[in-house]
Amino acid sequence: MKKTLVIGASEKPERYSYKAIKALRQHGHEVVALAPRPGKVADVDFSTDPVDFQGIDTVTLYVGPQNQAGYMDYVEKLQPKRVIFNPGTENDAFAERLEQAGIQSEIACTLVLLSIGQY
């Protein structure tokens, strides 16, 4: 199982970050979440400030490129194995920076990866 950090978490059921948290938990993955507001989905409480989470395998992004600058140093410091840029979050500059730091970046949909067993 892959410990996953969801950045851009939301309590709104129509949001893809909400659906991703639910799906990740249903597949048995440990999930931590970062959001602009306090909240909770399933058994996952949201942090509103960057936390030095340990053992993060995957970061999955649900914030647009215009809001990612404040997360770049943070994500790089966590040293995850990969960062998933979900649809609408693609950012070539961030992806290149991650690759230079030895972190895999992937343009994909977390929900699709889970549904086809490729997560």
User: What sign has the CA pseudo-torsion 113, 115, 117, 119?
Assistant: positive
| Whole-angstrom distance, CA of residue 97 vs CA of residue 21 | 26
Dihedral sign from CA coordinates of 26, 19, 109, 56: negative
Q: Judge: domain 4-115, CATH 3.40.50.720.
A: yes
The angle at the Cα of 107, spanning 74 to 59, to the nearest 5 degrees, equals 30
Give the dihedral sign, CA 5/11/15/21.
positive
Coil, helix or strand at residue 54: coil
Percent above pLDDT 70 for the chain: 100
Q: What is the pTM of this model?
A: 0.96
The reported pLDDT for the residue numbered 7 is 98
Q: With pLDDT > 90 as the criterion, what percentage of the chain qualifies?
A: 99
Mean of per-residue pLDDT scores for the chain:
97
Q: What is the pLDDT of residues 49-106, one digit of tens each?
A: 999 999 999 999 999 999 999 999 999 999 999 999 999 999 999 999 999 999 999 9
- Sorted by where each begins, the domain ranges of the chain are 4-115
